[in-house]
Amino acid sequence: MEKEIKRIITVLAGICILFVSLVVYLTYFQIFKADKVKNSSYNKRLWINEEKILRGSIIDRNGKILAYSELNGETYARVYNYGNLYSHIIGYSYRDYGKSNLELYYNNVLLNTSESAALNELKNLVEPNSEGNTLKLTIDHHLQEYSRNQMKGKKGAIVAMNPSTGEIYAMVSLPDFNPSTLREDWGNIVEDENSPLLNRAISGLYQPGSTFKVVTAISALENNMYMEDYECTGTAVVDGYPLKDYDGKGHGTVNLNEALIYSCNPYFAETGIKLGIDRLSETAEKFLLNREIPFDLPVKKSLFPKKGNIGKTDVAAASIGQGKVLVTPLNMALIASGIANKGDIMKPVLVKEVISKDGKVIDSFKAEVISRATDIFTANELKNMMVDVVNKGTGKNARISNIRVAGKTGTAENPSGNDHAWFIGFAPADDPKIAIAVILEEEGSTGGQKAAPIARNIMLEALNTINN
């Protein structure tokens, strides 16, 4: 009898363990796995729920409606008012093709649902929602349209922003696509070798060319290692490899300011070698290379050769923005912004406000410094040099009458094709309202000739039309 009861209790314990393991597994599943399972595209509920909710609209900084949803039979469908213009910012939202860009990354906000199922349910009990939130962007519709037109359909990217708040006014990437006709165009879009789905402004990596010299210059100023009178012969020989100027002619005796004005390659290559890779990369990383840039859309990390054992030629190439340096256009706009904003780089922002269905602002962005890239004196010194670049040097095409413009041109040698044309800058130099980066991919011409005029027009248009 004693033995029997012992065995009975053993069996009972076994069954209880089975039941408890059910509870544990179910809880584990709900906490760690459910979210992933739920968001599988095979889950039919996903679409039933979504299409019943009036997805929030997306508007520009002045309230112009860029995308909205309208009732189509029993469910809602998305309408994109401006075709290609916002393909790389707003993206698309389709049942069969999924979502991209803000439609993807702000999905929960647009639907006014939360990531946590439990919270959603509690909220549903209190207020069964059928309407999502509106996104107000920092984008200025007029400037966005103007900027895209300035590109005249060429491959490349533009980022125009407010240097003291981080607000992006315009972000263009070409080629783009039309979200309204995505279904019909899908086959062509995915096969197009120019990758229209790629947002070049934040995911394209390019050699920055001479625009990067502003970073080398800052490193030289901070470390007090710039040369007062350097004899430029048009070529510098590093480890047996000649580094030539763009036109191959010498600039004579130059100091740092003049070297920047004429974009003197030998000067910056020598300076870079003097600084060494450690000091250079320290400054580059303060300007967000090799670092994650927080943004409303995912940004590719810009690359700078890591500290340590790299050859002199690589250091020389890096200090003039060639070789192993790769940057996103957004990163270059942030470098210009940092110099404009007394050395502080602000967090770039695309979504200005989240507005609930009853018109209340439930979330708004806060200006935030993400990197103290340099001190105010160095920034000021660089600014003056960049003003000279536009007034006397390679950036003459960016000049605006009565407004002091700071800028730097770049013509990046592209190992796989024609040169890229770059321009970064800001205006007005003494109280910067707009900072910009323009790249024309494989343009085969100089930044000063092709990119600078585009940047000039956009900066002027922004100063004339945007009032905060």
Residues that bind another protein (CB under 8 A): 4-5, 7-12, 14-16, 18-23, 25-27, 29-30, 33-35, 37-38, 40, 42-45, 48, 116-118, 120-122, 124-125
Which CB sits closer to another protein, 29 or 97?
Answer: 29
Which CB sits closer to another protein, 36 or 360?
Answer: 36
Beta carbon of residue 130, minimum distance to another protein (angstroms, whole number): 13
3-state secondary structure the chain: CHHHHHHHHHHHHHHHHHHHHHHHHHHHHHHHHHHHHHCCCCCHHHHHHHHHCECCCEECCCCCEEEEEEEECCEEEEEECCHHHHCCCCCCEECCCEECHHHHHCHHHHHCCCCCHHHHHHHHHHCCCCECCEEEECCCHHHHHHHHHHCCCCCEEEEEECCCCCEEEEEEEECCCCHHHHHHHHHHHHHCCCCCCCCHHHHCCECCHHHHHHHHHHHHHHCCCCCCCEEECCEEEECCEEEECCCCCCCEEECHHHHHHCCCHHHHHHHHHHHHHHHHHHHHHHCCCCCCCCCCCCCCCCECCCCCCCCHHHHHHHHCCCCCCEECHHHHHHHHHHHHCCCEEECCECEEEEECCCCCEEEECCCCEEEECCCHHHHHHHHHHHHHHHHHCCCHHHCECCECCEEEEEEECCCCCCCEEEEEEEECCCCCCEEEEEEECCCCCCHHHHHHHHHHHHHHHHHHHCCC
Beta carbon of residue 35, minimum distance to another protein (angstroms, whole number): 7
Beta carbon of residue 32, minimum distance to another protein (angstroms, whole number): 11
Which CB sits closer to another protein, 123 or 142?
Answer: 123
Beta carbon of residue 108, minimum distance to another protein (angstroms, whole number): 15
Beta carbon of residue 112, minimum distance to another protein (angstroms, whole number): 16
Which CB sits closer to another protein, 116 or 364?
Answer: 116
Which CB sits closer to another protein, 52 or 372?
Answer: 52
Beta carbon of residue 95, minimum distance to another protein (angstroms, whole number): 16
Which CB sits closer to another protein, 120 or 313?
Answer: 120
Which CB sits closer to another protein, 23 or 71?
Answer: 23
Beta carbon of residue 17, minimum distance to another protein (angstroms, whole number): 10
Beta carbon of residue 53, minimum distance to another protein (angstroms, whole number): 14
Which CB sits closer to another protein, 44 or 366?
Answer: 44
Question: To which H or E segment does residue 169 belong?
Answer: strand 168-174
Which CB sits closer to another protein, 2 or 229?
Answer: 2
Beta carbon of residue 96, minimum distance to another protein (angstroms, whole number): 16
